[in-house]
Structure 1
Amino acid sequence: MAANKGQGASASAVEQKAKAATAAGVPSDEGLASPLDLQFDPINPRMPLMKFKDDAETIKFMIDTHDVDELVRAIMASGWLDYEPLIVERPTNYVLEGNRRLAALKLLSSEKLRAETGYKLPDIAGPKAMPQKVRVRFVPDRKTARSFIGFKCQWASEMGCLCESPLCGRLVGRSRFARRRQQSVRR
């Protein structure tokens, strides 16, 4: 798929965000990265105790449990909305925030992964173009990532956040995915 027009913030907006983060004492480095160069977080808090041998196995699990198909459909129908960068640890390229988005982007970008997972792209009339690269915020470690992820979880906690992320430290309850799975089992 071709690159999406208008993807991401302007260079000056990215520079302003990076300067603001640095001024606040939070080291950051925003940039662009190919989804295929990024790695799933091996200790993803939404998948505790799960160990996967490769991307295909991770994606299969996420399709079954984390509504990745719904996100693939939305991206194909509306295009990639690059409003929130993936939080990526350097030098590992582990995505600490945004693994569900990464799964959808990898499925859209890689015919090989679709074959390995048995995933067929949905039939969407006039699918939108996909970006070759997406906006990321590189951080040196998980502790620094908390500065970028925590604000989201703190805001969400006021709205009933159930993220269980050890990065934000706000264990409020089970994740919405675990709740959804439990509800479907009861039916």
Structure 2
Amino acid sequence: MSLPWSPGIHGAEEKQAYALAHLEQAGLSTDDMHVVHAEFRHFGARGLAYAVPRQLLDELHAVAARYSLDLTTALPIGGVAYLAARRARGAGGELTLVLEENAVSALLMDCVGLQRFDAEPAVGGYRQALRRLLTRLASDSTEFKGITLCADAEDKELAGIAGAFATPVSVRQIKSPQWRRFL
């Protein structure tokens, strides 16, 4: 979920407490069964918070240990997309759409940074989920300079749906190795 910018938040513990408060406020209860993380990528812009099941992290650590690897970072795909998304130059926004395993996520970036994060479950397939998500995003009438569609599937119709949402904007379709490489 996206977090409002707060200049008084410093350090990992304060970010985590801030994220927990916003998750609870949104009705997303977390407990000791989850690890919560928050990140503010750009000064003055919204941040991103996520909760990962502790059991999943324990399983990942066990797999890494079996291969003599040290697991230092585990990010959900939405977190990776947040860190990789481009800021817009000047007025308007850059929209990054990410096709995850069970959802389609949208990150709207302006010249400051993240302005909105939204996700839609892929109920009925990616095409229907993308249409629902883009319809919701259209409600705030932001002008888009570009759309990046992050999808490993070769589906030209998805790019067409995204392009029809904000004409005459070009849609750049990239695969995961292109936007995950900064890690």
Normalization by structure 2: what TM-score? 0.29
Structure with the higher strand share, 1 or 2? 2
Q: Choose between structure 1 and 2 for higher RCO, CA contacts under 8 A separated by at least 6 residues.
A: 1
Normalization by structure 1: what TM-score? 0.29
